[in-house]
Structure 1
């Protein structure tokens, strides 16, 4: 009885150990670099972005210098982006650009970087309840503007350049609107010089933005409050030349 009991215990332990070992076994341990890459691509295609990230990470850890790993460096950035992990996505893009400055897909890397930065402060809550665009944190938007600008300047004939240009127009309007939001805050508190400086910044930095006439109007009003009549007159003349209907209500006798 004792011998039977001992045998059963040994058998139980053997089964338990082998079961634990099977649980610990990595199903990808025998996969080649090409299989890891293909499985990552398949997961990406299915929209299983976390699984794709896992396979790309394994690929880079096991085969860091192969052809598939190099391409995977860029595609893992896209997978992180789609998995809503912007900081990891940006780190992956920057690593790719640093290690592969002459890669044929560098233009796409800058384009992807712009997309990541543009959406970086968009939380799940903001996606359901969109916030006033002028109140968004301008830092990632400014970086997105720079990323798209780098793409357009360096790769003007890239397949992504035209879309980047259109996004830059949209970003320019958003960033200018943010500056006006801040300028209005200063105006309501009587900080005339700060308001005028914000308006001038819009003219210098975001020429052609939809907010330009509002920026000129703020400058006229703020300079008048500061008794800087020459500067107010200059701003009014520019406003009258480009937006005469807006300038009429700001004539000195009104």
Structure 2
């Protein structure tokens, strides 16, 4: 026989179920922390640092997470969070890495290592946009969405602009050049798609966008070529001629 529950009883059952699920989801995390030896914060951090330097990132996350939970306001707290960002990045856990970076930047807006955090945020967003399987087999992915690439570009641009003397700035500049080319190539891929479907105005506008926003990329001439042939198809001879002259100047 099925018993009918009153509204209050039903609510209690549902609440109990939710609490049970929450307990189950947090139990593994608590167990991970309890597996870490009960040492001083200094001894624990030394273990974590040695583990991190050895490339044992999953174990390093376990140790660093335990320190972060046991000593959230201790002398190693900020360094632990920075190390956690790196470990999460190395394991490919980009969501957790970004969450940790964003929390660090929000709570420590004037920290001396903020340049490192912006650098790591850029690298994490680049990794979040990667597909190792397709990259390995050489699949052309230029037509994929580049939203994460744009965010990475913003992160590294912030680093270069606000911390020009940072040790991470030279590498950031190299990555910015690569990201710029990636974004320009994406726009041209879409322009080609439009052109092949005789949407010539849309194709010309995509080429124009590259010229206006990514003129420092290696795709400038291709963008100008896309504009010229699109204008030709539209019968806009004056615009086509102007683009032709501009392209000739940039080929010198």
Q: Deviations over 1:162-186 (max 9, x none)?
A: 1111111111111111111111011
Question: What is residue 132 of structure 1 aligned with on the other side?
Answer: 140
| 1:1-254 correspondence runs (5 A) | 26-28=34-36, 30-243=38-251
Greater than 4 Å deviation, 4+ residue runs:
none
CA apart distance, 1:112: 0.7
Task: List runs of 5+ in structure 2 lacking aligned partners.
Answer: 1-30
- How far apart are residue 24 of structure 1 and its match? 10
Tell me, in whole angstroms, the C-alpha distance in 2 between the residues paired with 1:128 and 1:37: 36
Give the direction of change, closer, same or farther, for the CA distance of 1:24–1:181 in structure 2 (3 Å limit): closer
Length-normalised TM-score, structure 1:
0.82
Task: Report if the CA contact (8 A) 1:63-1:69 is conserved.
Answer: yes
- Cα deviation, residue 122, structure 1: 2.1
Aligned residues: 222
- Conserved 8 A contact 1:200-1:219: yes
Q: Tell me by how many angstroms 1:131 deviates.
A: 2.8
Shift of 1:38: 1.6
Residues 135 and 86 (structure 1 numbering): CA distance in 2 closer, same or farther, change over 3 Å? same
Distance across 1 between alignment mates of 2:190 and 2:211:
15
